[in-house]
């Protein structure tokens, strides 16, 4: 049995998931130590353990930890959303953007920032509602005696193009305020805080709990509508639930971190290459990997131009593709 085959056994997959959990933990610990105040992972652990309320503790607990946890949550949510959508659409190009979550959340967020700059706390709910509404609209537009994957994708692309045009038009007329909006459209964690986490934690938690429950049904659904129906799956009902979970997770992520959609495309594929497409394992693996990826990229973004920083979306878009392409060429991959 080759190493690759071994990874695809049940034990191998659990091992990969365990290792990813370790990687995520290591990424979080080392990320906590990076910044103007540099701490080694042991110092980080010590400081957090003592809870002495000193300045290093305040920096860690009030500034870095929420930002990093938010990054992990966002990365995990987008990766799970991507896994689900690629499975439901049976299309390797599907990502959270495909159901209009990004464009809808983006437009709502931009409008909010321009119209009520004084109510910045409303940004998250507005983007969340915008994202979910758009996903629902795409689903309705694709519905014709059932929502077929092809119609969903086409409706999603059309709606995203239109909303993107609206966003661009709005930005053109308000170029002077484009700075903060640019952060949003690249995807950034620089404003991560405990209140932001609290605004989305329940939606994300719900998504993370329901997604694994539906994972085997997603396996059945990827075989094709007719085969799935023949196996006794309620196809339309299942598809709706899965899209709803994907939309909820992605909407929550986009509303707090901006348009960081790329992780939702590549994290699932990288895990598919390693452990295969059984969604019962793929969902947790992609969640952990996506989380580690966002935390890692955010850390790099904070390090390279100290004391200034690069947004995480930029780092991810720069570093993700080469890694992804390397994997793609090394493995015989057929989606």
- Please report, as ranges, the residues that interact with another protein according to CB under 8 A: 5, 8, 215-216, 219-220, 222-227, 229-234, 272, 276-278, 280, 334-335
Q: How far is the CB of 85 from another protein (least distance, A)?
A: 16
Judge whether 147 and 86 are in contact, CB under 8 Å: no
Cα angle for residues 212, 259, 197 (degrees, 5° grid): 60
3-state secondary structure of 165: helix
CB nearer to another protein: give 43 or 278. Answer: 278
CB of 4 to another protein, least distance (A): 10
CB atoms within 10 A of CB 180: 16
Q: Which lies closer to another protein via its Cβ, residue 40 or residue 237?
A: 237
- Asked if 279 contacts 246 with a C-beta cutoff of 8 angstroms, the reply is no
Longest dimension (CA), the chain: 63
- Least spacing, CB of residue 247 vs another protein, in Å: 23
Kindly state the smallest distance separating residue 212's Cβ from another protein, in Å. Answer: 9
CB 9, min distance to another protein, A: 9
Q: How far is CA 287 from CA 17, 46, 209, 243, 291, in A?
A: 10, 28, 12, 17, 6
Cβ proximity to another protein: between 235 and 295 the closer is 235
Smaller CB distance to another protein: residue 9 or 42? 9
Buried b or exposed e, range 133-171, using 16+ CB within 10 angstroms: bbbbbbbebbeeeebebebbbebbeebbeebbeebeebb
Smallest distance, another protein to C-beta of residue 25, A: 25
Please say which residue, 159 or 283, places its beta carbon nearer to another protein.
283
Write phi, then psi, for 147 (nearest 5 degrees).
-105, 95
Q: Which is nearer to another protein, 65 or 79 (CB)?
A: 79
279, 215 contact by CB (below 8 A): yes
């Amino acid at each position: 049995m080759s190493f690759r085959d071994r990874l695809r056994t049940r034990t191998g997959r659990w091992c990969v998931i365990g290792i990813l959990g370790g990687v995520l933990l290591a990424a979080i610990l080392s990320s906590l130590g990076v910044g103007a105040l540099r701490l080694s992972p042991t110092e980080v652990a010590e400081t957090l353990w003592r809870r002495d309320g000193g300045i290093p503790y305040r920096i860690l607990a009030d500034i870095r930890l929420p930002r990093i946890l938010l990054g992990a949550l966002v990365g995990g949510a987008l990766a799970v959303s991507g896994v689900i959508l690629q499975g439901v659409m049976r299309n390797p190009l599907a990502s959270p953007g495909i159901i209009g979550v990004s464009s809808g959340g983006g437009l709502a967020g931009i409008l909010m920032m321009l119209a009520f700059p004084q109510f910045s706390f409303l940004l998250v709910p507005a983007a969340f509602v915008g994202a979910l509404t758009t996903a629902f609209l795409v689903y309705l537009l694709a519905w014709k005696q059932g929502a077929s994957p092809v119609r969903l994708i086409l409706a999603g692309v059309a709606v995203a193009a239109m909303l993107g045009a609206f966003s661009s038009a709005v930005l053109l007329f308000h170029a002077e305020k484009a700075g903060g909006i640019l952060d949003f459209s690249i995807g950034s964690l620089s404003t991560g805080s405990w209140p932001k986490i609290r605004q989305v934690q329940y939606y994300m938690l719900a998504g993370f709990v329901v997604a694994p429950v539906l994972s085997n049904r997603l396996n059945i659904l990827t075989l094709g509508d007719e085969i799935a129906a023949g196996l006794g799956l309620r196809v339309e009902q299942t598809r709706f639930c899965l899209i709803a979970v994907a939309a909820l997770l992605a909407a929550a992520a986009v509303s707090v971190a901006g348009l960081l959609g790329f992780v939702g495309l590549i994290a699932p594929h990288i895990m598919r290459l390693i452990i295969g497409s059984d969604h019962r394992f793929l969902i947790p693996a992609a969640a952990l990997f996506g989380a580690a990826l966002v935390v890692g990229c955010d850390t790099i973004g904070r390090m390279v131009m100290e004391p200034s920083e690069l947004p995480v979306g930029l780092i991810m878009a720069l570093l993700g593709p080469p890694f992804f392409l390397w994997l793609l060429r090394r493995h015989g991959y057929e989606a």
